[in-house]
Amino acid sequence: MSMQYFGSCPAGEVHELTISNGRGLEAKVLSLGATLRSLLVTDESGRRRDVVLGYDSAEEYFFGEAYFGATVGRFCNRIAAPGFELDGKCFVLPPNEGKNQLHGGPFGFSRQIWTPLPAGEDRAVFRLISPDGDMGFPGNLMVQVTYRLTEESLVIEYEAETDAPTVLNLTNHSYFNLSGHESGSVGGHRLKLTADFFTPTDEQMIPTGEIRPVSGSVLDLRTEKTVGELISAPELKTTQGLDHNFVLSGSDAVPAAWLKAPDGTLSAEVYTDRPAIQVYTAGFLGNVPGKNGAVYADHQGICLETQGFPDAVHHPNFPSPVLRAGEVWRSRTEYRFRGASRVRRRKAVMIRI
């Protein structure tokens, strides 16, 4: 692992850590937001490509609204109102999307400086102390995120502890483009999910509380579809493609998602112990200046955000997001890369809700 100064922003000085598995897989991670800035992957033909979107400066990461590569919290996705009740106490959260809170609030984890910890050549470890009242959330929270490279995977591991009851929902908000971050639309990518259900939302993207089968709908991705089919689907016009929370149906030994590049030389499988995955095909990205002079338009990346259910604080039928003192919250997500022709097929173990 190497570390160098990357720049400064209102949050402070930002450093970039570079890790490698010594076999062609290399990642660059920033202390601002514990953010994955670059991920170099070698495809089946031997070509190396950077498969995540990003910025070139610390200020762009701080002020940008796309959350490129960020560790998102204290509660990723959306909380309505915003606020919630926990153990008879009401907590009001600062909104940053209309009257609701998105991705932890206006100065959530993605806009805070994390502390790098000593680690090996193939891993980067970051720690953040989120004080009681940070963005309205109760409890002093310690969060640790580890990025680790294996022979063919990027593994992200999370750990958290609190001194008082709180709520927690962490994810990584990378935008993937397996053809390369600067290569244009992901419409030609193919996508498959191990998900029998999804959680419908209202016009503000807040879950209604229903857990609905995907069967018979455009959201049935148990058989792979091109991302372009989803982007152009009339039923998904409001969200301009996917921006949906899917309820995962398999175990953590089964890929939650498969994504394949159009040229067939690279694929990604996502494994996780989280109960859901938000799939966002970047329909509202806009023309954003990106890395190395690239300009990212709508649909030039796809987010595969493993997570708990959005707005779970208001829906008792959703998996509980509550973390209490004395408990240790741990989670693991793996992004496994290889040539599409070498993808091993696994039969999903389906769990009915």
Q: What is the pLDDT of residue 352?
A: 40
Domain membership of residue 55 (yes or no) is yes
Domain membership of residue 106 (yes or no) is yes
Give the DSSP H/E element, type plus range, for residue 260. strand 257-260
Q: What is the pLDDT of residue 290?
A: 97
Catalytic positions: 173, 305
In whole angstroms, what is the distance from residue 279 CA to residue 261 CA? 16
Domain membership of residue 347 (yes or no) is no
Q: Which long-range contacts (CB under 8 A, 24 or more apart) does 316-322 make?
A: 317/209, 317/211, 318/199, 318/207, 318/209, 319/275, 321/75, 321/167, 321/168, 321/169, 322/86, 322/165, 322/166, 322/167
Within 8 A by CB and 6+ apart from 328, the residues are 159, 160, 161
Domain membership of residue 328 (yes or no) is yes
pLDDT in tens, 268-321: 999 999 999 999 999 999 999 999 999 999 999 999 999 999 999 999 999 999
Residue 82 preceded by cis peptide, ω within 30: yes
Range of the domain at 203: 2-342
In DSSP notation, 296-326 reads E-TTS-EEEEEES-TTGGG-TTSPP-EE-TT
Domain membership of residue 353 (yes or no) is no
DSSP code of residue 241:
S
Q: Is residue 241 a contact partner of residue 230, using CB atoms and an 8 Å limit?
A: yes
Task: Say what the pTM is.
Answer: 0.94
Q: What is the pLDDT of residue 336?
A: 97
DSSP code of residue 343:
P
- Cα separation values, 334 from 21, 63, 259, 319, Å: 15, 28, 13, 21
In whole angstroms, what is the distance from residue 246 CA to residue 195 CA? 6
Domain membership of residue 334 (yes or no) is yes
Q: What is the pLDDT of residue 208?
A: 98
Domain membership of residue 348 (yes or no) is no
Residue with tokens 């915003």: 82
Q: What is the pLDDT of residue 185?
A: 98
HEC string of 221-235 equals CCCCEEHHHHHCCHH
Total domain count for the chain? Answer: 1
Question: What stretches in the chain show pLDDT beneath 70?
Answer: 340-353
Domain membership of residue 352 (yes or no) is no
Specify the CATH number for the domain of residue 131: 2.70.98.10
Q: What is the pLDDT of residue 347?
A: 39
